[in-house]
Copies of this chain bind each other. A is one copy, B any other.
């Protein structure tokens, strides 16, 4: 019934490149608050990233999704297109320069610019202790979680600058403020993102680009299973922070939708928790 979306991933993309891409013939979402705007969401084929991509698309944006595996990208694109959303995807390991370049090319060729960049891709946190981490583990975590968002943004920036405005959202973690011994270097990388948010926000303010940081708490995703499936521990966490429920990916998406909207146009450099409590003054 749905109109086979014009937006498609990789291979197909070339063949239909002359079609007016970045536009859903269904018109769904086109009248939303983000209509005619383009978003890139990395690490967006499941969990928090997927919910963000869906939400921005529901708000009317054309969304480029990506993650490391082709089959995950295919599945996610199909699911969102099945909802009539204007979505296209590509494989992108954000730590690889050539993958980032491919993503940039897609945005450039088919969307003509970029309004929103959500950097959600990151390394799985279960890396053991900080002192037990090898050089390789450190390199991987710092590269993917800290350096990659900066490089991705550098490469996409010219397309955002063309618009004279833009919004960047980095995805940190409650572990940035409340480290878990078990998460080791992951904690450190997420604290670094709080700093990256602030320095980028100053650098990009003159270009009309805002940079904020989403700080998810315990959200019901595969990622966090190790926490909330440990009932004894989870009960202590809930009691400690008076949590009434676990967070949902959609809770994170709601904040991102707001931060992309004009309502947030004087908010930049800020880290905002979606955690059922606040970890900082």
Taking beta carbons and an 8 Å cutoff, which residues of A are in contact with B? 97, 129-133, 135, 138-139, 142-143, 146-147, 150-151, 153-154, 157, 176-177, 179, 181, 183-185, 187-192, 194-206, 208, 217, 236, 240-245, 247-248, 251, 254-255, 257-258, 261-278, 280-281
Contact = CB atoms under 8 A, between A and B. Distances in A.
Given A181-B202, A181-B242, A269-B278, 20 more contacts: A130-B150, A130-B196, A131-B203, A133-B154, A179-B199, A187-B199, A191-B191, A198-B278, A201-B278, A208-B244, A217-B266, A248-B266, A251-B265, A254-B262, A254-B263, A254-B264, A254-B265, A258-B258, A266-B276, A270-B278
- Copy count, this protein chain: 4
Given A146-B192, A189-B192, A266 B251 contact: yes
Contact of A275 (B138, B208, B266): B266
Contacts of A179: 195, 198-199, 202
Given A192-B192, A203-B131, A268 B264 contact: no
